[in-house]
Chain A
């Protein structure tokens, strides 16, 4: 099982929108609507931001959204703010009844 593929880094200016992609296979991302996204600030534990492709947990900003097409899922953050600067990881349930994470994407708000 290989990690899901994410871009190493993305950047955007305050107020702009960015999208982070997460590419897997038909055995994981493409096989189920079980993609989740996690935000991790330096030195902190990850935090759930999106689950089941596009659902937001209570308390997560509606500037955060998720989608999926085929074997690729996406996380979009609109109206970028400085507090959004962090690492983002996608995760998917797999046909082996295990989970995979993506390699992570560093978001810089410039």
Chain B
């Protein structure tokens, strides 16, 4: 069974940078795409973007320019990075797997809670 394990909770100040991670288990990581999904407190899921094992990246227009998605396939890990956090970035962030022939997300990480507060 594929597992996605995300990095731990973070508490940051506005203006600070942050990179969170999502590590996949199993082989064939190159055949996966990893999506990032935001869930603000008490709110719904928002699709942020997705990256393939060979770094094909697509962003939601709402998040383009606000975050950077990357991948290191040698260690089966995807990343979500902010260069300057805002209080409004406070949320739970999930990674989710899409196999390359699918249009859905069949495996999800446990979530990383990011809190941005002065």
Contacts and interface: CB of A to CB of B under 8 A. Distances in A.
Interface of A: 1, 3, 32, 34, 36, 38, 40, 45-48, 51-52, 57, 87, 89, 91, 93, 96-104
B104 A51 contact: yes
A46 B104 contact: no
B60 A36 contact: no
Interface in B78-117: 94, 96, 102-106, 108-111
B44 interface: yes
Contact of A98 (B44, B58, B105): B58
A75 to B, nearest CB: 14
Nearest to B59: A98
Contacts of B105: 36, 38, 46, 48, 91
Contacts of B108: 45-47
A15 to B, nearest CB: 28
Contacts of B46: 3, 101
Interface residues of B, number: 24
A97 B98 CA distance: 13
13 contacts: A1-B60, A1-B62, A3-B46, A34-B104, A40-B45, A46-B96, A47-B108, A52-B103, A89-B44, A89-B45, A91-B45, A99-B47, A99-B50
A34 B101 CA distance: 12
B44 A46 contact: no
Contact of A45 (B49, B50, B59, B94): B94
